[in-house]
Structure 1
Amino acid sequence: MMGPVLAACLLIILSTAWISQANGATCKKDGGVCTCNDQTKNVDCSSKGLTAIPSNIPVDTDRLELDYNKLSSLPSKAFQSFTKLTFLSLNYNELQTLPAGVFDHLVNLDRLHLNYNKLKSLPSKIFDSLTKLTWLRLENNQLQSLPHGVFDKLTELKELSLDNNQLKRVPEGAFDKLQNIKDLRLEENPWDCSCNDILYLSKWIREKEGKVNGIESATCVNKKAVLEITEEEAAEDCVYPNTTTAIPTTIITTLASSNDDDIPELPVPQENFQKFLGYQEPDHLPTQPQCLMSISGYLGLMMSLVLTSAAILYVIHFLKKA
């Protein structure tokens, strides 16, 4: 009688393995690049050397990690299917810009990590749809300015990190709508305390001192605390350059009067030329290792099916003999 019992046990074990393999295959539609968990809806694509977001990540994913890759840009519709996402991490990539609307469908997002990238600016309404966001990390980028009202919709935000950027000022009222903010990191920025634009930030820090962690550590380029700046010290009415400034007419006149032979030919990077023509790289092309991983997954699934069939035949054989 031990034969059928052992066979039954083997059948249960192999069936469990087959179910697990099937779940894994469902989760690895992208070719096996990411580590997925169907039960927790977590997808980890970290440290894969990715230059594009893998295709066919399950749309019901709750947590998506894309840290430590080589992402330099994102398609504007990169996350439009992930309406159930609550956690998105893009730390330690090479992002230089964010397309407007890239986060518009992430209406349930609770945490967004964009730290350790190369962001120099943000689109004006980039976070407007993230009304449930409680944690936003933007530290260790190259942000030179913030759009007016960029945080206005983040009324549930509790933690915001802007440290280690290139910020000299923030717009008037930048933090006024952050009703639930508990921690705001502002240190390691070259705050320009000679301009009267800094007075809003200085006053806001004084009013929130002791209520919001981290704000007192903001210092001017001369190492004086921002909260200590007076109107007399910040008397200058500074105007900062921006990318939308018109070209001076003297330059236009000079260019118009120049001979064509005098104008040097400027090399145009191939990627910029492609963008001008409207060419876009596909979101993701599987590499050879990814294809091999996919093939190995299917082979494992077939092996599980063969062993399961063998176990069933083994049980039937012993039952007939009994």
Structure 2
Amino acid sequence: MPGTGEPPPRGWATMGRWRGPSILLAVLLLLCPLPAPACPHTCHCWAGDVDCRQRALHEVPRLLPTNASSLWLGYNLIAVLGARAFPSLPVLLRLSLTHNRLEKIHRQALLGLGALQDLDLSDNYLSVLSPETFLPLTSLSILNLGYNRLEELEAGVPPALPQLQAIFLNGNPWMCSCSILPLWRWLGHNREKVPERTSLQCMFPESLNTYPIMAFGNDSFQQCQKVPLSAQNYAAFLLIGPFSFLASIFCCTLIGSIVVVYQHLRKESQTWRRPLSSGDH
């Protein structure tokens, strides 16, 4: 013991011997991040790229490396992206789902992909897209929706992507009716963001088949403009309804009364009519 000339207990020597390595080990554990999840056995991973193409996948693999920067899921059998279809991938920049069977994308399917810059959904069966689906993609600059089944594009889809620089829309069966008006307006104000804008064509109705969407003018959509009703118009509608109802009741009552009176008078005339005798012939 110190000051007594006796040797220190054996445990003290052991603690002194391992104190340095223990501190070093603790520092290493704090500084070294935990390893990323292993690559899915159906995919091939290297240097941040995760290649899961042509694997007959019906859904997105659940365990993906968190350091993935590119995820290739093309040429599979994925039909639906449900809510939170992907694990959190904070550094994912490119996602390709081309040539699948995608018909539906949940509004929360792309949560956790905030760093995504390039999204390829081409060559699928998408017919409806919700603007809410794209709200988490605040960094997306390239969106490929080509060769799907889109007949119209909701007005809120492009504005949901503040960093959008290029969108590909060719190969869709666009319905050139009033429903195409939001897309036509957006194209007119964002020509530089649609590289293939001149090749976008109507498929329906048949009379406009292959007609270029950008060839329409303002006059083409005059019948689609909604004219707001004035206060006088609303008041007229409110008054016409009840008055029409009361008028119809009055007319029906009047006609019914006339018929009843007529039938009554006719019956009385037949009752008081003197029958003819045989000698009157």
Which structure: greater helix fraction?
2
Q: Which runs of 5+ in 1 are unaligned?
A: 1-25, 169-190, 240-322
User: How many corresponding residue pairs?
Assistant: 187
Q: 1:11-26 counterparts in 2 under 5 A?
A: none
Aligned partners of 1:84, 1:130: CA distance in 2, in Å? Answer: 12
Which residue is 1:215 aligned to? 197
The letter of the residue matching 1:119 is L
SS of 2:198's equivalent in the other structure is helix
Aligned partners of 1:132, 1:112: CA distance in 2, in Å? Answer: 11
Q: What percent identity do the matched residue pairs reach?
A: 29
SS of 1:60's equivalent in the other structure is coil
Matched, 1:144 2:126: no
Aligned partners of 1:148, 1:204: CA distance in 2, in Å? Answer: 8
Matched, 1:103 2:103: no
RMSD: 2.9
Aligned partners of 2:182, 2:76: CA distance in 1, in Å? Answer: 37
Which stretch of structure 1 is more off in the superposition, 151-160 or 44-53? 151-160
**The structure with more radius of gyration:** 2
Q: Which runs of 5+ in 2 are unaligned?
A: 1-35, 203-207, 227-281
Q: Contact between 2:84 and 2:111, CA under 8 Å: does it hold in 1? A: no
TM-score using structure 1 length:
0.51
TM-superposed CA distance for 1:65, in Å, is 0.6
Out of 23, 26, 46, the position equivalent to 2:53 is 46
Aligned partners of 2:88, 2:105: CA distance in 1, in Å? Answer: 18
The letter of the residue matching 1:35 is H
Q: Contact between 2:77 and 2:100, CA under 8 Å: does it hold in 1? A: yes
The CA deviation string for residues 10-33 of structure 1, in whole angstroms up to 9 with x for no partner, is: xxxxxxxxxxxxxxxx87553x21
Q: 1:97 to 1:232 in 2, by over 3 A?
A: same
Out of 71, 74, 97, the position equivalent to 1:67 is 74
Which residue is 1:34 aligned to? 43
Q: Contact between 1:219 and 1:225, CA under 8 Å: does it hold in 2? A: yes
TM-score using structure 2 length:
0.58
Q: 1:51 to 1:115 in 2, by over 3 A?
A: same
Q: Contact between 2:155 and 2:183, CA under 8 Å: does it hold in 1? A: no
TM-superposed CA distance for 1:79, in Å, is 1.4
Aligned partners of 2:154, 2:181: CA distance in 1, in Å? Answer: 18
TM-superposed CA distance for 1:44, in Å, is 0.3
TM-superposed CA distance for 1:124, in Å, is 2.8
TM-superposed CA distance for 1:119, in Å, is 1.0
Out of 87, 90, 101, the position equivalent to 1:80 is 87
SS of 1:152's equivalent in the other structure is helix
- Greater relative CO (CA pairs within 8 A, separation 6+): 1
Which residue is 1:225 aligned to? 212
Q: 1:68 to 1:234 in 2, by over 3 A?
A: same
Q: 1:243-258 counterparts in 2 under 5 A?
A: none
Q: 1:216 to 1:36 in 2, by over 3 A?
A: same
Q: Contact between 1:216 and 1:225, CA under 8 Å: does it hold in 2? A: yes
Which residue is 2:98 aligned to? 91
Aligned partners of 1:207, 1:150: CA distance in 2, in Å? Answer: 15
Q: Contact between 2:127 and 2:151, CA under 8 Å: does it hold in 1? A: yes
The CA deviation string for residues 18-68 of structure 1, in whole angstroms up to 9 with x for no partner, is: xxxxxxxx87553x211111xx21110000111122232212211111111
